[in-house]
């Protein structure tokens, strides 16, 4: 069937002024055909804005330019607000959307040519950022390769150019159904529209369907599916392969935006694109799926990027300035002949001691073994092994050969871990059987390696291909590959995810070594130190610090399982003088009848991972009589920002927040003051008593977030030469230069009388008698009411006496004092209260709704 | 100082407003059926529905504060229309004709209340067609009448004080205390619904601020509260505690209250001597859903802020009771 191009009817979110019909000479038919396109040029000119460039947006199958309506709208909004104006040209491909139905079969190569003819007809001049979704990504990539003079950048979302990979099941189904699925019924269309997260508004779904009413109008959908090169003999195979090869040489800046919940374009296609475009910025929108522009803020991401694109592909041989760094494994090399204990693991009554000589040899063998089975520099290796000798050896082996370790601890929960592992997409997983079983059943990627020998049956069941003992044998006597450079990626560490999905944090070798050097500088840990590491991340640093390390008997995912006896055994085993614990572990140690005499050798107790209350430290001091009790403040992104002693906490006294002490020797701290709306501005200060977002600059800070380009850009302050990390924490510096932490930025309460930060209020509630409390805001920003939720009562209203006491102690108006039996906290630390959840709960309760469990 | 007319000054709030204006140096005239009992005020006895008394009352006044209204949750709708709408229309006309320059219409947040929870909203336009109950409907229409008369040289401002209470309040506080003492006061729902209220002195200072700012802010409506919302159970409990009475312990589900009617109605009624009326949906909603407001515009435009608040107000209420 043929049909003329028409303008679309009135549809939600679509401004009729954007629509235009464009006549183009068609090479397939040898005559003029008509395209429908959305073009914001008129709207921009009307708004008095001069376009600085064009975003050429190409939809896939079976959508149409409607997919880009938010981009069109946002681009105009931003231009009106004074940002550089980017014109959006979103095409309806021929046979699709409201463009002409010509009855011709159009293959990839034809469609690339169609697009070129269209941009020529439009007279597009550079710069052009090419943007494509689904198979539109292939078409626009083809166009980009043919227009290098116009091209300023390439943005691809949920697409694929790797025609040789096995076709996704969902597409196979569409192919098998052929015309039944794609033309005569609307199944393909319906399925595509049904997988949006959250579900599409019915009016939007109708709008997507509107140009595809009647089988004849859907012919293009069928032909498009049929053009997927499913076999080597397929007529479009060569064209797609040429585009795929072209991308591997594309120099222009590139951005890959991805919805991981896509049954068609799964993550492996993202990784294929990342291999071809290693310079591309990547952002995975956790929770979003195939219809990414519907599920996530693609418009905002694209418009942010076009005004400040990430670097183009660097020329081969570009020199990265070398950083003077002592390698993480240098201490192991230096002590390869030392028989003193390096690691001691305690399990019940068992003690396993590993000397420096053994550890160094083990690391060397594993490194060589991993290299021998094909672990390449830059390969990602997920480590799902509890802290201990196996994890430590595997970690240093990976670092030595330049593999990137991915560390996500089990405290994230299975769901969080799955998200983390799938997001980081390791090529290899070293994991204990439970982790490997999860890897198998949940479809985690990566070749599986078990830390210990397994029965043949278990091995088959878990899909294990290697074990660490085998790798050590394999690596024995083999030479190691050259050492990785300090500025290359060494590790991806996951945050606890207490404020949204866990984020991967990137550390280079230099910055990881910086963490070690910061610990040495701040705490004087050296070869003479015996360290009990009851907090997993620090257990891993022992060998590079050069100190002997003991891992006490505990379930690391549940710190409260560490007992006084367990800690005493670990201290005795290595004659420890330093102990690192989480507050939850320390609490349990103090609650399980500790004998102070057993801890008299301990000179340093570091409580890490979560805020510590002074009373807990006071009780700890009664047990650890000779120890300096210190608490560093930091986060996965910068582990050591500030540090405070118990005495200094008392000296600081009460204040608005928790005093975390002065910045550590190597860290700089500054404050970005909050405005009345609770948002930090661009200005920063180190003046006393100004509340704002805490920013950090340190040699041991993160190198960036992993595959979260937008998050990364938003968390950066300062200049490219001196980058500062926006911590997302709120606090102030005092006149003595000490830092006080007042809460998390999104938890700041914005009342009509100014901003209120939660921690000071929560501490006041505790002084009033609450065991724990959450301070949250309810109501619209700027006119929120402060609400305190105390723990340990049935609720929803707190006992009147406690409510009155809380009001008295908190020095600002409290609208309501609510109560719950238990406040929700993060799994990893059992300490960070989920204030966002409590705010939602309090809002419902105070609205007069039913009283639910938070 | 200029002369101001206060209507409804025999009421508890009206009398307080009249006294405040006297204290501020205004020449105060009042209009109501019974003597106002306000020292220093000139009483005109009558009603806003009587043309002759209205004309006498507005003669020579520079400003009007109009509080007189039929306030009840039950009754014949025609009475509400006559007093609240037509009475306001007549007063506005007469005042304008007599050369008054400022007119403060004392309204109620219920004029814009459609039954849904209100959390931190400002004062949207009055909606007679959607307001719940005859009182709110007619007050809404009356507010539109008053604001509709705003014109150069005749500055009209509407203020909406929300749940006014304080020592000597014969309506809300006294009735709650009386019911609670008799063990006949249940709470509706969880009792956690967050509600704004206005301590008497805050309502009075807000009304005077509106009068003083009328030239600047005319044509607008402003919500007045003490700016310290409280869970409804806590507020009622506070009223009881001030009088040394045990707070209500019995609860009825919000749905049941809305559907079936309840003794709570009577507590909130302000028609003395009346038997217990049926629970209205409006009341159940008022007692079980949030209604607290964004005061920022009110504070900015009127140059006013609540000085007493709920916590201090409850302390003063207790002091009042202790003094007997």
Measured distance between the N- and C-terminal CA atoms of chain A, rounded to whole angstroms: 58
**Residue at a domain's end among A292, A307, A322:** A307
The pLDDT, as a whole number, for residue B249 is 72
Domain that holds residue B147: 3-162+200-226+294-307
Query: What is the pLDDT at residue B262?
Result: 41
Active site includes B26? no
Return residues 226-245 of B near A (CB < 8 Å).
Answer: 227-231, 233-234, 237
Q: Indicate which CATH number applies to the domain containing B127.
A: 3.40.50.720
Q: Band of the pLDDT at A401, cuts 50, 70, 90?
A: very high
Structural domain includes residue B151: yes
A607 touches chain B (CB under 8 A): no
Residue A215 located in a structural domain: yes
Provide the pLDDT for residue B253: 66
Residues A705 and A660 in one domain: yes
Inform me whether the pLDDT recorded for A512 exceeds 80: yes
Selected catalytic residue, list B26, B135, B199, B222:
B135
What are the tens digits of pLDDT across the range A733-748? 999 999 999 999 999 9
Cβ contacts (< 8 Å) between A796 and chain B: which residues? 190, 192
Q: Is residue B87 exposed (0-12), middle (13-18) or buried (19+ Cβ within 10 Å)?
A: buried
B190 touches chain A (CB under 8 A): yes
Q: What are phi and psi of B4, to 5 degrees?
A: -130, 140
Same domain? For A23 and A143 the reply is yes
User: Of A251, A275, A307, which residue is a domain's last?
Assistant: A307
- Please tell me whether residues A370 and A467 are part of one structural domain: yes
In chain B, positions 249-288, which contact chain A (CB-CB < 8 Å)?
A: 254, 288
Q: Does A813 touch chain B (CB under 8 A)?
A: yes
Which of A778, A800, A847 is facing B237, going by the closest CB pair? Answer: A800
Is A475:A395 a contact under the CB 8 Å cutoff?
no
Last residue of one domain, picked from the residues A636, A662, A682: A636
Identify the pLDDT of residue B158. 96
Task: Assess if residue A144 is contained within a domain.
Answer: yes
Count of structural domains within chain B = 1
pLDDT digits (tens, 9 = 90+) for A695-710: 999 999 999 999 999 9
Whether residue A463 is found in the same domain as residue A521: yes
CATH number, domain containing residue A48: 3.40.50.1820
Residues A414-448: pLDDT tens digits? 777 788 888 888 999 998 888 888 888 887 888 99
Residues A774-823 have pLDDT tens digits of 999 999 999 999 999 999 888 799 998 999 999 999 989 999 999 999 88
**A171 and A204 in one domain?**
yes
Q: What integer pLDDT is reported at residue B315 of this predicted model?
A: 93
Domain count along chain A: 4
Q: Are B192 and A807 an interchain contact pair (Cβ–Cβ within 8 Å)?
A: no
The answer to whether A807 faces chain B, any CB pair under 8 Å, is yes
Question: By the CB < 8 Å criterion, does B117 face chain A?
Answer: yes
Chain A residues with beta carbon closer than 8 angstroms to that of B234: 797, 800, 803, 816
Question: Measured between CA atoms, how close is A816 to chain B, in angstroms?
Answer: 6
The answer to whether residue A323 sits within a structural domain is no
Upstream peptide bond of A380 is cis (omega within 30 degrees of 0) = no
Residues of chain A contacting B299 with CB distance shorter than 8 Å: 752
Lowest-confidence segment of A342-346, A408-412, B102-106 by average pLDDT: A408-412
End-to-end CA distance of chain B: 37
Mutation target for B interface from A848, A851, A853, A854: give the one with most B CBs within 10 A. Answer: A848
CATH of the domain at A684: 2.30.38.10
Confidence of residue B116 (pLDDT cuts 50, 70, 90): confident
Query: Per-residue pLDDT tens for B147-191?
Result: 999 999 999 999 999 989 999 887 777 877 877 777 766 676 778
B191 touches chain A (CB under 8 A): yes
pLDDT confidence of residue B279 = 41
Which residue blocks in A549-674 are alpha helix, DSSP H? 564-574, 583-591, 614-623, 646-652
CA distance A603 to chain B (A): 50
Comparing B293 with B262, which gets the higher pLDDT? B293
What is the C-alpha separation between A485 and A500, in angstroms, rounded?
33
pLDDT at A56 over 90: yes
Asked if the structure places residue B167 within a domain, the reply is no
With CB atoms and an 8 Å threshold, state whether A816 touches B294. no
Distant-in-sequence, close-in-space partners of B169: CB < 8 Å, separation ≥ 6? B12, B200
Q: Which of A752, A815, A848 sits opposite B289 (nearest CB)?
A: A848
pLDDT score of A88:
97
State mean pLDDT over A195-202.
85
Assign 3-state DSSP to chain A and report helix, strand, coil percentages, each to 5.
35, 25, 40
d(C-alpha A407, C-alpha A191), whole Å: 36
Tokens of B18: 């009249």
Across the interface, of B229, B290, B294, the residue whose CB is closest to A848 is: B290
Determine, yes or no, domain membership for B248: no
Please give the pLDDT value at position A273: 95
Give the mean pLDDT of chain B.
85
- Residues in chain B within 8 Å Cβ distance of A799: none
> Does the pLDDT value for residue A28 go beyond 70?
yes
Q: What is the pLDDT of residue B270?
A: 44
Q: Would you state the pLDDT for residue A827? A: 60
Domain holding A423, by residue range, is 330-636
**For the residues of A121-183, what is the DSSP string, one character each?**
HHT--S-EEEEEETHHHHHHHHHHHH-TTTEEEEEEES----TTSPPPHHHHHHHHHHHIIII
Q: What is the pLDDT of residues A261-278, one digit of tens each?
A: 988 888 889 999 999 999
Q: Is residue A312 part of a domain?
A: no
| Interface contact A796-B294, CB threshold 8 A | no
Contact A847 B290 (CB under 8 A): yes
Question: Is B37 part of any domain?
Answer: yes
Q: Kindly state whether A780 is in contact with chain B, defined as any CB-CB distance less than 8 angstroms.
A: yes
* Per-residue pLDDT reduced to its tens digit, A480-508: 999 999 999 999 998 876 667 889 999 99
Residue from B190, B284, B292 whose CB has the most chain A CBs within 10 Å, to mutate: B190
Could you give the C-alpha distances from A126 to A146, A302, B303, in angstroms and in order? 13, 17, 55
Sign of CA dihedral A497, A499, A504, A510: negative
* Confidence check: pLDDT of A773 > 60: yes
Res A118 pLDDT > 90: yes
Alpha-carbon distance values, A51 to A14, A488, A534 (Å)? 20, 39, 58
Is B253 among the domain residues?
no
Give the number of other CB atoms < 10 A from CB of residue A441.
10
Residues A218 and A233 in one domain: yes
Evaluate whether residue A54 is within a structural domain: yes
Instruction: Kindly state whether residue B279 falls inside one of the protein's structural domains.
Output: no
Cβ separation of A815 and B295 shorter than 8 Å? Answer: no
What pLDDT sits at residue B263?
Answer: 44
CA distance A777 to A798: 17
Return the pLDDT at A566: 95
- Nearest chain B Cα to A818, which residue? B192
Q: State yes or no: pLDDT of A603 exceeds 50.
A: yes
User: Mapping DSSP to helix (H, G, I), strand (E, B) and coil, where does residue B246 land?
Assistant: coil
Judged by phi (left if over 0) then psi (alpha if -120 to 50, else beta), residue A404 lies in beta
Q: Please check whether residues A36 and A130 belong to one and the same domain.
A: yes
Would residue A83 count as lying in a domain? yes
Closest residue in chain B to residue A797, using alpha carbons only? B192
Radius of gyration of chain A (CA): 30
Residue A624 · residue A713 · CB < 8 Å: no
Q: How far is CA A796 from CA A772, A803, B92, B151, in A?
A: 15, 12, 47, 49
CATH assignment at residue A815: 3.30.300.30
Residues of A in contact with B237 (CB under 8 A): 800
What pLDDT is recorded for position B274? 38
Query: Do A370 and A517 fall into the same domain?
Result: yes
Question: Do A775 and A726 lie in a common domain?
Answer: no
pLDDT tens digits, residue range A459-482? 888 889 999 999 999 999 999 999
**Residues B235-292 pLDDT 10s:** 988 888 888 888 777 666 666 555 444 444 444 444 433 333 434 555 566 677 898 9
* A556 and A473 inside one domain: yes
Same domain? For A102 and A160 the reply is: yes
Confidence at residue A828, expressed as pLDDT on a 0 to 100 scale: 58
* Mean pLDDT along residues A372-376: 95
Give me the total of CB pairs closer than 8 Å, taking one residue from chain A and one from chain B. Answer: 83
Q: What is the least distance, in Å, from the CA of A510 to any CA of chain B?
A: 50
In-domain check, residue A641: no
Q: Would residue A688 count as lying in a domain?
A: yes
Cβ–Cβ below 8 Å for B234 and A845: no
Rounded to an integer, the average pLDDT of A334-348 is: 93
Is residue B252 included in any domain, yes or no? no
Same domain, A778 and A839: yes
Give the closest-approach CA distance of A507 to chain B in angstroms: 44
pLDDT tens readout for residues A222-263: 887 778 877 777 888 889 999 999 999 999 999 999 999 988
Buried b (16+ CB within 10 A) or exposed e, A288-302: bbbbbbbbbbbbebb
Average pLDDT for chain A: 90
Looking at the predicted structure, is the pLDDT value of residue A405 above 50?
A: yes
Within-domain flag for B174: no
């Amino acid at each position: 069937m043929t049909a003329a191009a028409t303008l679309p009817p009135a549809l939600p979110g679509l401004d009729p002024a954007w629509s235009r019909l464009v006549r183009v000479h068609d090479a397939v038919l040898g005559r003029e055909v008509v395209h429908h396109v959305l073009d914001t040029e008129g709207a921009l000119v009307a708004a008095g804005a001069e376009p600085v460039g064009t975003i050429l947006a190409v939809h896939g199958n079976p959508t149409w330019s409607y997919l880009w309506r938010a981009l069109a709208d946002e681009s105009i909004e931003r231009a009106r607000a004074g940002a550089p104006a980017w014109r959006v040209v979103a095409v309806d491909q021929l046979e699709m959307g409201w463009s002409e139905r010509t009855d011709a079969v159009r293959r990839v190569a034809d469609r690339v040519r169609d697009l070129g003819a269209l941009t020529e007809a439009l007279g597009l001049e550079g710069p052009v950022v090419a943007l494509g979704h689904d198979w539109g990504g292939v078409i626009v990539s083809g166009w980009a390769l043919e227009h290098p003079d116009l091209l300023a950048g390439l943005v691809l979302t949920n697409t694929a150019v790797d025609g040789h990979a096995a076709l996704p099941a969902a597409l196979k189904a569409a192919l098998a159904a052929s015309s039944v699925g794609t033309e005569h019924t609307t199944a393909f269309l319906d399925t595509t529209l049904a997988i949006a997260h959250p579900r599409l508004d019915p009016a939007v779904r109708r709008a997507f369907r509107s140009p595809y009413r009647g089988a004849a109008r859907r012919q293009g959908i069928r032909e498009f599916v049929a053009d997927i090169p499913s076999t080597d003999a397929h007529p479009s195979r060569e064209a797609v392969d040429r585009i795929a090869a072209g991308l591997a040489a594309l120099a222009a800046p590139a951005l890959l935006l991805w919805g991981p919940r896509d049954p068609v374009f799964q993550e492996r296609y993202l990784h294929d694109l990342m291999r071809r475009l290693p310079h591309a910025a990547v952002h995975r929108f956790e929770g979003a799926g195939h219809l990414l522009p519907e599920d996530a803020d693609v418009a905002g991401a694209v418009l942010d990027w076009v005004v400040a694109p990430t670097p183009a592909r660097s020329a081969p041989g570009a020199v990265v300035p070398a950083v003077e760094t002592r390698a993480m494994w240098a201490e192991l090399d230096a002590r390869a002949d030392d028989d003193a204990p390096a690691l001691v693991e305690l399990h019940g009554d068992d003690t396993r001691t590993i000397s420096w000589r053994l550890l160094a040899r083990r690391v060397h063998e594993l490194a060589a073994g991993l290299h021998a089975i094909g672990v390449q520099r830059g390969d990602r290796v997920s480590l799902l092994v509890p802290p201990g000798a196996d994890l430590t050896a595997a970690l240093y082996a990976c670092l030595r050969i330049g593999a990137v370790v991915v560390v996500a601890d089990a405290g994230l929960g299975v769901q969080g871990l799955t998200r983390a592992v799938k997001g980081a997409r390791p090529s290899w997983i070293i994991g204990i059987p439970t982790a490997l079983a999860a890897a198998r059943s949940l479809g985690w990627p990566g070749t599986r390696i078990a830390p210990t020998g397994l029965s043949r049956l278990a091995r088959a069941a878990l899909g294990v291909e290697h074990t660490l003992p085998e790798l050590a044998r394999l690596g024995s006597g083999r030479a190691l590959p050259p050492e990785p450079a300090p500025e290359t990626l060494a590790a991806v560490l996951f945050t606890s995810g207490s404020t949204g999905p866990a984020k991967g944090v990137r550390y280079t070798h230099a910055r990881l070594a910086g963490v070690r050097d910061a610990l040495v500088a701040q705490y004087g840990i050296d070869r003479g130190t015996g360290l009990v590491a009851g907090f997993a991340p620090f257990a891993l640093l022992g060998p590079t610090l050069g100190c002997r390390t003991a891992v006490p008997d505990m379930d690391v995912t549940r710190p409260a399982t560490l007992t006084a006896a367990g800690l005493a055994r670990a201290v005795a085993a290595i004659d420890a003088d330093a102990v690192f614990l989480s507050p939850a572990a320390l609490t349990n140690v103090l609650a399980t009848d500790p004998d102070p005499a057993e801890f008299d050798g301990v000179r340093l107790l570091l409580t890490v991972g979560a805020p510590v209350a002074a009373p807990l430290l006071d009780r700890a001091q009664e047990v650890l009589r000779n120890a300096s009790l210190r608490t560093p403040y930091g986060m996965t992104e910068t582990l050591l920002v500030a540090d405070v002693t118990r005495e200094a906490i008392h000296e600081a006294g009460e204040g608005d927040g928790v005093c975390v002490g002065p910045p550590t020797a190597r860290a700089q701290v500054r404050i970005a003051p909050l405005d009345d709306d609770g948002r930090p501005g661009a200005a920063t200060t180190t003046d006393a008593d100004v509340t704002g977002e805490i920013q950090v600059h340190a040699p041991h800070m993160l190198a960036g977030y992993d595959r979260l380009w937008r998050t990364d850009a938003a968390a950066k302050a300062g200049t490219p030469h001196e980058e500062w990390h926006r911590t997302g924490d709120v606090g102030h510096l005092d006149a003595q230069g000490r830092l006080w932490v007042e809460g998390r930025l999104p938890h700041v309460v914005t009342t009509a009388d100014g901003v209120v930060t939660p921690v000071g209020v929560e501490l006041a509630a505790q002084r009033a008698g609450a065991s724990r409390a959450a301070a949250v805001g309810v109501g619209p920003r700027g006119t929120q009411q402060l609400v305190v939720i105390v723990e340990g009562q049935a609720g929803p209203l707190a006992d009147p006496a406690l409510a009155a006491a809380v009001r008295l102690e908190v020095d600002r108006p409290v609208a309501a004092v609510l109560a719950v039996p238990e406040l929700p906290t993060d799994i990893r630390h059992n300490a960070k209260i989920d204030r966002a959840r409590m705010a939602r709960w309090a809002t419902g309760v105070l609205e007069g709704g039913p009283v639910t469990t938070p | 100082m200029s002369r101001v007319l206060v209507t409804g000054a025999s009421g508890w709030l009206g009398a307080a407003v009249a006294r405040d204006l006297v204290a501020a140096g205004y020449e105060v005239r009042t209009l109501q059926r019974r003597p106002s009992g306000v020292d220093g005020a000139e009483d005109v006895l009558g009603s806003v529905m009587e043309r002759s008394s209205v004309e006498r009352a507005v003669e020579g006044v520079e400003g009007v504060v109009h509080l007189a209204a039929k306030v009840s949750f039950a009754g014949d709708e025609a009475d509400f229309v006559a007093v609240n709408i037509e009475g306001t229309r007549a007063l506005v006309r007469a005042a304008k004709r007599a050369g008054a320059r400022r007119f403060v219409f004392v309204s109620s947040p219920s004029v814009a209340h459609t039954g849904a929870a209100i959390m931190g909203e400002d004062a949207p336009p009055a909606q007679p067609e959607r307001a719940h109950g005859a009182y709110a409907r007619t007050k809404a229409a009356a507010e539109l009448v008053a604001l509709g008369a705003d014109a150069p040289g005749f500055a009209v401002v509407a203020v909406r004080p929300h749940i006014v209470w304080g020592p000597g309040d014969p309506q809300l506080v006294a009735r709650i205390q009386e019911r609670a003492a008799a063990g006949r006061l249940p709470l509706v729902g969880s009792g956690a619904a967050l509600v704004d209220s206005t301590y008497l002195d805050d309502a009075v200072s807000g009304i005077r601020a509106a009068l003083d700012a009328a030239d600047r802010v005319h044509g607008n409506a402003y919500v007045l509260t003490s700016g310290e919302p409280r869970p409804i159970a806590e507020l009622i409990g506070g009223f009881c505690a001030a009088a040394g009475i045990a707070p209500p312990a019995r609860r009825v589900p919000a749905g049941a209250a809305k559907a079936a009617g309840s003794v709570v109605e009577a507590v909130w009624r302000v028609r003395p001597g009346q038997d217990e009326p049926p629970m209205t949906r409006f009341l159940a909603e008022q007692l079980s859903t949030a209604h607290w407001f964004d005061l920022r515009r009110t504070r900015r435009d009127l140059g006013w802020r609540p000085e007493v608040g709920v916590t201090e107000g409850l302390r003063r209420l207790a002091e009042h009771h202790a003094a007997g």
